[in-house]
Structure formats: C-alpha cells, structure tokens
Amino acid sequence: MSKSSNYLNNKAGVPVISPNIIKGVSQYRREALEDEYQKGLITDRYSHKGSKEYSLTENSYVTASGNPIKKEAQVATPSGGYKGSNDASQQAPSIYSPLWLDSNLSLPRDRATINAWCRSFYVLNPFVHNAINLHSTYPISKLNIKCKNKKVENFFNEMCEEIDLMNICVNIAQEYYLLGEAFPFAEYDELKGKWSRIVIQNPDYMVVKRTVVDNEPLIFLKPDDNLKRIATSNKAADIEQRKKLNPYIVDCILKGQNIPLDNFQVSHIARRISPYEIRGTGLPVCVFRQIMLFDRLRESKFAQADSMINPITLVKVGSENYKPTPADLEAWRSIFEQMQFNKDFKLFTHEGVDVQVVGRGQGIYDISGDITQLIKEILTGLQVPSVLMDGGSDTTYANGGVALDVLRQRYMQFRNMLANWLKRKIFAPISKIQDFYELEDGVKNLIVPDIDWNHMSLFDAGDYINNLLQLTSGDGGQKRVAVHELHRSLGFDFNDQMRKIKKEAVASEILKKETAVLSQMTLNELRALTDEDEIQEKDDGEKKELLPGESPEGAGGAPGEMPGLDLGAPPSLPPPPSESDLPLSAAPPPPK
C-alpha cells in the first residue's frame, strides 16, 4: 500500500496518535488522551511493517496492544548496581599562586583605594593607630640645629620656629609610615628670602614620573574638585580666590591638564619596597589580610553577642491532662509581659507551666587562639614589639631588649634620611639665597647647618644616664664627656639651664640676707611688714651724728682728723742710688 493510500485510510478512520504527540503534551492532556483511547475515539496503530503490528510505545511512553494506555516511568539504574556508581570525575589540581588567592581577590588594586584602606585602619584599628603614632613621634622627639656660625644658626632657628618645622617633620613621618610617601610643598617668601610655610600634599592627587636625566622625578598635581570650581566658577568668592592663583595654574585646569610642580619647592619622600619603585608603600599594606580576617572574626562575635543578649524565652503551658486553648495561651502571654520589667514579680501556678531561656552559649566557637595569632602577625607587620603594646606578657626581658634595639636602629636610619632631606631641600637652598658662605683655604664653601637629634632610650635610660654621669663627673680620672651632652640627652638646653641656675643662686642668697635682716628686727617692726614690703638691708654700724668739735666715740686723734689713723712724722725715704749702683743702660752718658 502506498503512503498516500495509507494516509487516506487513516484519515477516514479513527484518529491515530504518535509517540511525538504523547511526548509533546502535558500530563493533563495525556489523561484526556487515555480517556479517549479507552472510549475508542483514537488509536495508536497507524502503520504496519509486513505482518507485524508496529507499536508506538517503543520508548515506554504508551503501551497500546489492545489494552488501555499504561504509564511507565523510566528507571535509570546505576552502572554499579546497588553499591552505587563507580564513575569518577577527574579534575586538574589547583596551582598555587600568591597573586590569585581567594583572600587576595578582595584586596584593593588602585592607589587611592589602598590609601583609603590605610586611613580607615588608622582611625578604627587600635594596633595600626598606636604603631603609626609611635613611628611618627618617637624618633622626632626633639630637633636641634647646630652650626659653627652663630649668625647662621640663629637665622635658621628663627625660620624653623616660624614654619613650625618640628610638627611638619612629625606629619611627614606619619604620611611616610601610613601611606608610604609624603609630598611636602614649601612656599617661598621672596621679600624675606626664606620659606614661609610647608604644606603636606594629598598623595591621591599626585602624579610622579621617572626621569632619565637626573634623580629628581617629575611631579604633577591633579586638580581636585575645589580647584576646578575656583577656576571655572562665576561666584564672587571663587573669583577672588582665582585672582590669587598663578595664571599658569588656572590655564592648566581649564585645559584639563595636570599642574606641573617645581622641584625647588616640592619633594617626594617615599618608602619604596624596591629601589626601582616610583611610588611608596604604606606600612599597613602588609597586614591587610590579617586585619580582614580579624574583622571577620569580630563580626562573628557581634552576631554571637546579639544572640546571647537576646535569647529565646520558651514557655510551655499544659500537660497530658490539661490542653490549653488559644485564649489560655493569650492570657499566659499577658502575664509574662507584665512580669518582664517587674523586679519583684512572683508567679504561683501549677506544674503544667515550664519556662526555659534558650541561648547560643553552648554553640559559640572559641576563637581566642586565632585572635592571639592574628595580633602577633599584625604587630610583626607593623614593626612594633609586643613589649611596647601590652608589656610583653609572653616576652622575656632579653628578647624584648633585642627587639627594642632593632627598632631603635630603624629609627636611626629614618632620622638620617630625614636629616639629609632637611639639609638638601630646606636649608641648602636658603643658604644659597642668603649668601651664607665661608672661606676655607681659599675655597668658598656653603654653610649648611646640621641636625642634632636627642638620644633615643627605649629601655636602657637609667643605664645610659648613669654612664653619662660618670663620664661628666670624671670619676677615676679626667672628665671625658661635656656636661652639654648630659643636658641634651635629657632634653634640656644647657645655656637655658645655666641661666636658671644663676637665677636660683641669686634668689637663694637674697633669701639668706633677708633672713639675717629679719633676725635683727624688733617684734613691732616684723608685725608692721606686709607681703609686698621689701626688706632693706641695714648698715653694720649706724653712724652717730657728731656735734661741732666733737670726736667720734672711741676714736683717737684731734678733732677733724680721721679716726683710727696715726698721722705722725712721714716715713723716711731711702737715699738715692749712686752711679756705681746703676746698671750700664741706666748710667748717664759721658760728657762730650
């Protein structure tokens, strides 16, 4: 039979469904087709292959061999039988890289975000805050300027007082350790020929480019929103501020360019992790991951604290013989609400009421060991010995002394770097402008003052001072150290102390004299004195007024003569020497 004849026979008879129809309909439609199949309205026999009837249910969707439609599910039996599957999926081993750790993926990449993290940890983390303050203040406890030429020394001392150089150095040290770099910008006063002030620029707006000609880099300033507003605004206040700016700076802002800064005024002090780095790296960067984990553990403690502060109060009302109704439960709820804030509340009831407080205390994970380890790692990364933070409970004196000595050596290195910068960028340019030169062996040399720092004594202050006392007193021999060194180590100025000692000595002698005069005064004279009266010194012997022609009492001699003097005959003079007694040089010349 041809396909067309078969199609016409099927078309004329009972409708035929195919497996595709069964697979493409929903479960509800299948139930409807099953009902129609049972009623004989449809059939699934639509073709014959020879004498064998072709079934449409080869894929277990419908079984139609004269029986009603039967649904069967496909059962996927595992290859391993009842023991489970024996298939194994092979995965490539993970390759370690410090750049692609899961914790590193959360670290910031751009400099502005890194600086924001450092500032946030400095404000919120006590370890970072204390360590940065220690590094920035302890090495710069006292700054002294020394120079052989007193005129030059006095000039620079006056300038340092005007620009507050001491606090500027502390701010530079804070930026150096916290953000890894500092950009001090010195403003020059042309009338006085010296620096008028030093401003620390924000590293987020600084652009540094390396040069191949000299060691000085090219430094640019990115205009912030404030500068852009001043350069483009039409407000009266902004116009007045724009008049005070350099026209070149305004032109750069209007063109959308960075502002180039003169190396005569700006400096770049960087804490580089390698000599070929252009920018610096802050000290807290190395402990970012430790602080991240520390904050995660702290957040878990906050969640646990909330669960412990607000536990669940479970009230059981009822028993096998008593089943409370919803109205009974509402009444009990009202009773417990009344007793919540009543400190002297008493409840009398039957045994069917049970009150339990369910908390999270038993499920709290102990993280004290993790916290201790993280604190050690944070202090190690911040270069602060634990003996300075918590007294070193688990650190012996010897180990603490070694750590403090290492820290002192690091501070000495930082001092030397800061002193070189001060001499090269702050003092030397002003010395050239002021023409501070001296002649040595016919050579004209520039006079640049030196920086003298105070002694740093982290743990051996007593031993150091005792050794200085022995050297300055000269015990067992000649004095080996000047007293000035002892005063400088203790933070005192020698000349100032000498003036104070002189003043105290004068005051002490005045007190002794006044005490002696008071002892000679009568009781009425003492009572007549007030707090503001000055005690006048009396003469040792009061002179008695003499009558005309009267001689002083106890004085010999005629009236009008000095008492106590014997005005007798004048003493005899020795005879003049003869010519033979005179020396040859004193003898008179022979007559001509």
What mean pLDDT do residues 218-244 have?
91
pLDDT attached to residue 309: 65
pLDDT-wise least confident of 165-174, 280-289, 336-345: 336-345
From residue 97, how far is each of 13, 91, 105, 286, 509 by CA, in Å?
Answer: 74, 18, 12, 17, 80
pLDDT-wise least confident of 28-32, 122-126, 254-258, 434-438: 28-32
Return d(Cα 455, Cα 459) in angstroms, integer. 12
Neighbours of 187 (CB within 10 A): 11
pLDDT-wise least confident of 4-18, 319-333, 470-484: 4-18
> Is the predicted pLDDT of residue 206 greater than 90, yes or no?
yes
What mean pLDDT do residues 199-215 have?
88
28-78: pLDDT as tens digits:
777 777 777 777 777 765 444 443 333 344 443 444 444 444 555 555 555
Can you tell me which residue has the tokens 């249910």? 57
| Confidence (pTM) | 0.61
> Between these two residues, 192 and 81, which has the higher pLDDT value?
192
pLDDT attached to residue 402: 75
> Is the predicted pLDDT of residue 403 greater than 60, yes or no?
yes
pLDDT attached to residue 587: 47
Q: Which pLDDT band, with edges at 50, 70 and 90, does 566 fall under?
A: very low
Query: Angle at CA 264, nearest 5°, toward 262 and 265?
Result: 75
CA dihedral 98, 100, 106, 112 (to 10 degrees): 70
> Is the predicted pLDDT of residue 419 greater than 70, yes or no?
yes
**Position 276, amino acid:** Y
**Position 297, amino acid:** L
> Is the predicted pLDDT of residue 510 greater than 60, yes or no?
yes
Please compute Rg for the chain using Cα positions. 51
From residue 368, how far is each of 289, 359, 365, 385 by CA, in Å?
Answer: 18, 21, 9, 20
pLDDT attached to residue 576: 56
Return d(Cα 15, Cα 41) in angstroms, integer. 7
pLDDT attached to residue 442: 83
Return d(Cα 403, Cα 459) in angstroms, integer. 11
Single out the residue of 512, 510, 508, 518 nearest to residue 538, CA to CA: 518
> Is the predicted pLDDT of residue 579 greater than 80, yes or no?
no
Single out the residue of 569, 548, 567, 570 nearest to residue 559, CA to CA: 548
519-563: pLDDT as tens digits:
888 888 888 888 888 888 776 554 444 455 555 544 444 444 444
430 within 8 A of 193, measured Cβ to Cβ: yes
475-493: pLDDT as tens digits:
666 777 777 777 776 767 7
What mean pLDDT do residues 231-252 have?
90
CA 540 remoteness from chain centre: 69
> Between these two residues, 576 and 196, which has the higher pLDDT value?
196
pLDDT attached to residue 35: 77
pLDDT attached to residue 197: 93
423 within 8 A of 451, measured Cβ to Cβ: yes
340-352: pLDDT as tens digits:
777 777 888 888 8
pLDDT attached to residue 555: 45
3-state helix, strand, coil in the chain (%, to 5): 45, 10, 45
Residue ranges with strand state E in 430-475:
437-440, 443-446, 450-453
Return d(Cα 211, Cα 219) in angstroms, integer. 10
pLDDT attached to residue 4: 61
pLDDT attached to residue 426: 94
> Is the predicted pLDDT of residue 181 greater than 60, yes or no?
yes
284: DSSP letter:
G
pLDDT attached to residue 119: 96
What mean pLDDT do residues 193-199 have?
93
Q: Which pLDDT band, with edges at 50, 70 and 90, does 173 fall under?
A: very high
Maximum pairwise Cα distance, the chain: 191
CA 524 remoteness from chain centre: 68
217: DSSP letter:
P
Query: Angle at CA 185, nearest 5°, toward 179 and 189?
Result: 160
Return d(Cα 165, Cα 160) in angstroms, integer. 5
> Between these two residues, 367 and 469, which has the higher pLDDT value?
367
> Is the predicted pLDDT of residue 298 greater than 70, yes or no?
yes
Whole-number mean pLDDT of the chain?
78
Token duo for residue 431: 């010395």
> Is the predicted pLDDT of residue 96 greater than 50, yes or no?
yes
